[in-house]
A = this chain, B = another copy of it.
């Protein structure tokens, strides 16, 4: 059963793709990076800054939002986009990943995953049907199927069992999604751990079911980058060219560059905001630790060639002082600076693909990172 397609493939450059995904709340230029607004907020960043930085779409976490403030409440308040004031495209995960990583006393059965809330201990059952119901209540532009993500390393039999369960949950998720309004999308998620054969089987199973788009899950959980890239190389060729491909939870700028080179269109990661809260800045010189004493007397900005005001207009000395003093403003500025860096990277990637110069861009960008930061003043 084919689902309507809202993705336009605009250009390719080798396996790298540039496209446009049309959602009920707006258009997403791909390759796209989705900053994570976990519980309905981007940590330390105003929504207008997220948008100004060039973000077309953001991610919300179903697990957090269903526990607090609750899906029914968000629905009655006009949906997640209106509730938060972001008012643009939003993708929500299924809740499954956070159930595994945050909740207690979880139990996976064929029917559902059962867990206790990490907030108040309430016992909650999350089935594929309830996950979709919650995501529809949130008004998510792109919902994700419920899946089971196995921690690596794991026995092949465990990986296979979880992958097969995820396929059955994918089918149930799709049936539950039939009531969604036109234009809203559901993505299936390929599992299979670090096993090439299981990954391929998962991808084929998903394509047989038929989704608006396809995600690769269960990666970026600590495995070497080479394993992650190898799994993408197994899965991507099986996925329909006309559909968007989303690599979940990835990653560093280098991970993104390499995954785009293997045909991925969408990414999400907490890294820009989380690392920003820890005094780290992403720049074309690589990642810079503002806690380092080398910045204490440096009046220069992080990168005077950046177009982002906080990147080209605020001294390293001031950022260093804010980070060392534990001032909220330091985390706020670095989070915003990092989101802007990621979105600039995505814009440059899209541009390079459209011009057919992606391989060159990838080389130049990696060379810049490898060269490292400018010398201390």
Contact = CB atoms under 8 A, between A and B. Distances in A.
- Most B Cβ at <10 Å: residue of A64, A297, A320: A297
- Most B Cβ at <10 Å: residue of A85, A297, A313, A325: A325
Interface in A17-65: 39-46, 64
A294 B46 CA distance: 25
A82 to B, nearest CB: 9
Interface string A314-354: 11011011101101111110000000000000000000000
A377 to B, nearest CB: 11
Range class of the A interface residue count:
35 or more
B77 A43 contact: no
B69 A317 contact: yes
B325 A41 contact: yes
A328 B325 contact: no
A349 to B, nearest CB: 29
A76 interface: yes
A329 B43 contact: yes
A329 B39 CA distance: 11
A69 to B, nearest CB: 5
Given A73-B297, A297-B73, A41 B322 contact: yes
B332 A296 contact: no
Given A40-B318, A76-B297, A85 B328 contact: no
A328 B329 contact: no
A321 B43 contact: no
Contacts of A46: 329, 332
B325 A77 contact: no
A83 interface: yes
Contact of A299 (B68, B78, B296): B78
A321 B44 contact: no
B331 A328 contact: yes
Interface in A281-310: 296-297, 299
Nearest to A321: B69
Contact of A68 (B64, B314, B325): B325
A84 interface: yes
A85 B333 CA distance: 13
A144 to B, nearest CB: 22
Contacts of A322: 40-41
- Most B Cβ at <10 Å: residue of A64, A315, A318, A320: A318
Contacts of A73: 296-297, 317
Given A41-B322, A42-B329, A43-B329, 13 more contacts: A39-B327, A40-B322, A41-B327, A45-B329, A68-B321, A69-B296, A69-B317, A69-B324, A78-B299, A83-B315, A83-B318, A85-B313, A332-B332
22 contacts: A40-B318, A40-B321, A40-B322, A41-B322, A41-B325, A41-B328, A41-B329, A41-B330, A43-B328, A46-B329, A68-B321, A69-B296, A69-B317, A69-B321, A69-B324, A76-B297, A77-B317, A77-B318, A78-B299, A83-B315, A85-B313, A85-B314
